[in-house]
Amino acid sequence: MTQRANWNYPTSVRFGAGRIVELPEAAKAAGMTNPLFVTDPGLAKMSMTQSAASSVGAQVFSEIKQNPIEANVTAGVAAYRAGEHDGVIAFGGGSALDAGKLIAFMAGQNRPLWDFEDIGDWWMRADVAGIAPVVAVPTTAGTGSEVGRAGVVTDERTHTKKIIFHPAMMPKIALCDPALTVGMPPVITAGTGMDALAHCIEAYCAPGYHPLADGIAAEGVRLVKENLARAVKHGDDLEARANMMAAAAMGATAFQKGLGAIHALSHPVGALYDTHHGMTNGVFMPYVLAFNRKAIEERIKRLSAYIGLRPNFRAFLEWVLALRAEIGVPHTLAGLNVGDDKIQQIVAMAPDDPTAGGNPVTFDKRAARTVFRRALEGRV
């Protein structure tokens, strides 16, 4: 089967190996003649990045942390305005994609960034005419930010990750070339893959009626099951890489239904310890699944059968544990150098995270403490 296609869901997606050559045409189609090329410091040094930026004659901005902060967005907006740019090419993993989208969003706004946090209808405060177009080019297969309407950024004043949302933050075009992920180290492949899996599982388990999201999430889980370990072990397996890139986009498409406690815990841990987001999700995953068991068992039975396992919760949980062990995800938080020194902050922050409301079991401080303790001690 040829893994090359054009999709228009949820935005225009050009998918297939080698399609990075279409970047100049994609930028033109999105209405850009002078784009700002946003990436991260590591990628900025790589030949594939320099080649992509050169193909559109773009200025490169790469002052972005692993977990982007407000100062990164502010600096990017300054560069955007100084260069009189008319759009953003966001090139990289979740950090670069989120930062690029946020820079494009804030380029024409006069209010502070935090005025657009994903709370109620705060997104309606934005000047829509001031939102610049984005072409998103993922180089990892995890966040799916290339098909998302939001960006995650850390508020350093409070050490909290916040979600900035607006429907017009959706990239005009997502150029998904799995060949760009071939050079990813195994540990990054594993971490980003667990992020995609977390998105799919949490979207599937979130309460509410959304069969479209459920179907996309279930197929995303199947693709992860059949391809993540292959991609980690054989980095040049382009078929596995393509399927993981598809699963990442599917997870982000599905989680418009909701996320849950995996992310509600991962966000404060990432903000306080600067851990890799996807790997942090991977550590918390089995503990949250076990905590939510009574509310999700019937759904997980169906999902388990669909992906080729015995149709029961235990089989699914055992698969998650086995996958983590196979690809090098730590079993406990100690593997991320996370201890109990900030447990009070994390327990207070997790229930207030906007993703907590999507958990199928009420996720209050007591629940957060229970799951965090289990992840510290390795008790599934």
**pLDDT (tens digit per residue) in 336-355:** 999 999 999 999 999 999 99
Percent of the chain with pLDDT over 90: 96
266-324 per-position pLDDT tens digit: 999 999 999 999 999 999 999 999 999 999 999 999 999 999 999 999 999 999 999 99
Q: Do residue 191 and residue 125 come from a single domain? A: no
Q: 306 and 342 share a domain?
A: yes
Two structure tokens written together for 183: 């050079």
Indicate the residue among 180, 207, 227 that finishes a domain.
180
Q: Residue 56 gets which letter from DSSP?
A: T
Q: Are the C-beta atoms of 130 and 151 separated by less than 8 Å?
A: no
Q: Are residues 167 and 252 in the same domain?
A: no
Token digits of residue 42: 């590591």
**Residue 304 sits in which domain range?**
183-377
pTM for this entry: 0.95
296 and 360 in contact (C-beta within 8 Å)?
Answer: yes
247 and 115 together in one domain: no
Same domain, residue pair 256 and 306? yes
**What sign does the dihedral 297-298-301-302 (CA atoms) show?**
negative
Identify the DSSP state of 38: E
Which of 125, 157, 180 is the endpoint of a domain? Answer: 180
pLDDT in tens, 187-197: 999 999 999 99
CATH code, 295: 1.20.1090.10
Judgement on whether residues 199 and 294 belong to the same structural domain of the protein: yes
Distance, CA of 138 to chain centre: 10
Q: Is the pLDDT of residue 3 over 90?
A: no
* Arithmetic mean of pLDDT, 144-169: 94
Domain count, the chain: 2
CATH number of the domain bearing residue 73: 3.40.50.1970
Same domain, 277 and 363: yes
Strands 12-16 and 4-8: antiparallel
Residue written as tokens 């410091």?
41
Using the predicted structure, report yes or no on whether residue 201 has a pLDDT greater than 90.
Answer: yes
Over residues 70-114, the pLDDT tens digits come to: 999 999 999 999 999 999 999 999 999 999 999 999 999 999 999
Q: Does residue 129 share a domain with residue 11?
A: yes
176 and 187 assigned to the same domain? no
User: Using alpha carbons only, how large is the chain's radius of gyration in Å?
Assistant: 19
Do 306 and 164 belong to one domain? no
| Domain end position, chosen among 180, 211, 227 | 180
Question: 140 and 267 share a domain?
Answer: no
Residues 142 and 253 in one domain: no
